[in-house]
Amino acid sequence: MKLTILGGGGFRVPLVYGALLGDRAEGRVTRVVLHDLDAGRLSAVTRVLAEQAAAVPGAPEVSATTDLDEALTGADFVFSAIRVGGLEGRADDERVALAEGVLGQETVGAGGIAYGLRTVPVAVDIARRVARLAPDAWVINFTNPAGLVTEAMSRHLGDRVIGICDSPVGLGRRIARVLGGDPNEAWIDYVGLNHLGWVRGLKIAGRDELPRLLADPDLLGSFEEGKLFGADWLRSLGAIPNEYLHYYYFNRETVRAYQQAEKTRGAFLRDQQARFYQELRDPDAAALAAWDRTRAEREATYMAENRESAGAGERDADDLSGGYEKVALALMRAIARDERTTLILNVRNNGTLAALDADAVIEVPCLVDANGAHPVTVAPLPDHATGLVCAVKGVEREVLAAAENGSRTTAVKAFALHPLVDSVTVARRLVEGYTAVHPGLAYLK
């Protein structure tokens, strides 16, 4: 079985490969093809993978290429984890928005729109090529903004593209642990858009334990989202929001904190990862050790660098690595081996949320088997949540339209309609600012 990883020179690829190395079952991935535009990054990551594989008999064979069509041809699974514009682009997304006094963040608000505008045309090109060169392949999309990018690709690949994110699973696991349940056995009632969802219930052995959590200030104060949002607000909501909703519920505070931070998260990661890739230019450098060290540093500073300033608490070790590689592997196994399982994924709505049309990609628990991911029936969202979901989906649709028609006016509309952009004038200036710094937005006329 052949797995193609787009963005194969990316820093997190060894996590995915590590997960594959742990899979000994029949029908596992036997070939990994890494694709990246940057040959230097590809060679650095290939060396890390070679060291990871050294002691593992039957490790999946790894090859690397900068030719996209060659990488895609014959793939059974395509894992897309690209970052258009690199971490430099992410830092610019954050900086330009903060300079305008609005949220500058990787996936949410103005920064996320800029990132989406750059990424959608590239993702659509990939989707078209997959449809031509590997029509039976399943595409697992981790490329952010994951919900929007998955929807763009689904217009060409239908339900063969499935978006993943580690944040809902991480949240569910933290809640289950706080409640003394086995995180692997808990049923999480979660729905929304990517980075915009709510846990409305959490069943352990068939019983909804969320009311017990909401009623207990000590329990609420003992995990990340409890500290982030505060017990009173969680009780008012009657749900636990995804951590990314902090950017909506505490927008002013976050913008101020991010404006005061010495470096944005993107700038921090840009500098840190540049050191790793630089180190690996030395052919004698110990690749895996360098990667491990950089990763440990990244995790240690995860909160200290900027989220802490926004009020977040610590994460436990299990959640630090994100765990997205585990979600990706679980999804691949379920499809490849028809092992039925439930995962929270980004798929087309198909009637799940009544306020959205059938093709809108949402994030929801899905039953996964050899036929793909099928959203389960969930209770409707309350009005305030439906309002946010519809507003943000409306913005995503404007981003998709701008990527298709290449119109600046449509891009302005996307920014202006976002609930976290408070003025049409600001939206216009954001389009000016972003098109000035991002070559990937040159198509906007």
Give the residue numbers of the binding site.
90, 144, 165, 195
Binding mask 261-280 for ligand G6P (x = CB under 6 A): ----x---x-----------
Distance, in Å, from the CA atom of 348 to the CA atom of 358, rounded to the nearest integer, reads: 6
Q: Which of residues 328-357 bind ligand G6P (CB under 6 A)?
A: none
Residue 322 interaction partner, one of Mn ion, ligand G6P, none, beta carbon < 5-8 Å per kind: ligand G6P
Whose Cβ is closer to Mn ion: residue 167's or residue 352's?
A: 167
The sign of the dihedral angle between the CA atoms of 426, 118, 348, 401 is: positive
The reply on whether position 226 binds ligand G6P by CB under 6 A is: no
- Which of 32, 165, 427, 430 touches ligand G6P (CB under 6 A)? 165
Whose Cβ is closer to ligand G6P: residue 41's or residue 265's?
A: 265
Whose Cβ is closer to ligand G6P: residue 17's or residue 302's?
A: 302
Binding mask 214-253 for Mn ion (x = CB under 5 A): ----------------------------------------
Query: In angstroms, what CA-CA distances link 375 with 237, 360, 441?
Result: 24, 12, 34
The helix or strand, by DSSP H or E, that contains position 274, with its residue range, turns out to be helix 265-279
- The least distance separating ligand G6P from the CB of residue 166, rounded to whole angstroms, comes to 5
The helix or strand, by DSSP H or E, that contains position 377, with its residue range, turns out to be none
Q: Which range in 23-31, 163-171, 312-320, 366-374 contacts ligand G6P by CB under 6 A? A: 163-171
Distance, in Å, from the CA atom of 163 to the CA atom of 147, rounded to the nearest integer, reads: 7
Distance, in Å, from the CA atom of 285 to the CA atom of 168, rounded to the nearest integer, reads: 37
Whose Cβ is closer to ligand G6P: residue 62's or residue 258's?
A: 258
Query: How many residues sit close enough to ligand G6P to count as binding (CB under 6 A)?
Result: 8
The reply on whether position 361 binds Mn ion by CB under 5 A is: no
* Residue found under tokens 């742990």: 22
Distance, in Å, from the CA atom of 305 to the CA atom of 264, rounded to the nearest integer, reads: 8
Active-site position among 17, 190, 244, 434: 244
Q: Return the percent helix, strand and coil in the chain, to nearest 5.
A: 55, 15, 30
- The least distance separating ligand G6P from the CB of residue 255, rounded to whole angstroms, comes to 17
The reply on whether position 165 binds Mn ion by CB under 5 A is: yes
Distance, in Å, from the CA atom of 211 to the CA atom of 422, rounded to the nearest integer, reads: 35
Distance, in Å, from the CA atom of 394 to the CA atom of 402, rounded to the nearest integer, reads: 13
Active-site position among 76, 166, 189, 319: 166
Distance, in Å, from the CA atom of 119 to the CA atom of 144, rounded to the nearest integer, reads: 8
* Beta carbons within 10 angstroms of residue 217's beta carbon: 14
31: its two tokens:
């070939």
The reply on whether position 167 binds ligand G6P by CB under 6 A is: yes
445: its two tokens:
């006329």
225: its two tokens:
């989202």
Residue 265 interaction partner, one of ligand G6P, Mn ion, none, beta carbon < 5-8 Å per kind: ligand G6P
The helix or strand, by DSSP H or E, that contains position 356, with its residue range, turns out to be none
Whose Cβ is closer to Mn ion: residue 84's or residue 179's?
A: 84
Distance, in Å, from the CA atom of 365 to the CA atom of 48, rounded to the nearest integer, reads: 34
Residues 6+ apart with CB under 8 A from 215: none
Print the SS3 string covering 398-414. HHHHHHHHCCHHHHHHH
The binding site for Mn(2+) consists of 165, 195
Residue 315 interaction partner, one of Mn ion, ligand G6P, none, beta carbon < 5-8 Å per kind: none
- The least distance separating Mn ion from the CB of residue 195, rounded to whole angstroms, comes to 6
- Which of 322, 365, 372, 433 touches ligand G6P (CB under 6 A)? 322
Q: Is residue 319 annotated as part of the catalytic site, yes or no?
A: no
Q: Which segments of 63-194 does DSSP mark as H helices, in order?
A: 68-72, 86-99, 109-133, 146-157, 167-178
Q: Which segments of 140-264 does DSSP mark as H helices, in order?
A: 146-157, 167-178, 210-214, 217-220, 224-229, 231-237, 246-249, 251-260
- The least distance separating ligand G6P from the CB of residue 370, rounded to whole angstroms, comes to 27
Whose Cβ is closer to ligand G6P: residue 19's or residue 416's?
A: 19
The reply on whether position 327 binds Mn ion by CB under 5 A is: no
The binding site for substrate consists of 90, 144
The reply on whether position 144 binds ligand G6P by CB under 6 A is: yes
The reply on whether position 123 binds ligand G6P by CB under 6 A is: no
Q: Is residue 244 annotated as part of the catalytic site, yes or no?
A: yes
Whose Cβ is closer to ligand G6P: residue 148's or residue 255's?
A: 148
Contact residues: ligand G6P, CB under 6 A: 106, 144, 165-167, 265, 269, 322
Catalytic residue numbers, as ranges = 166, 244
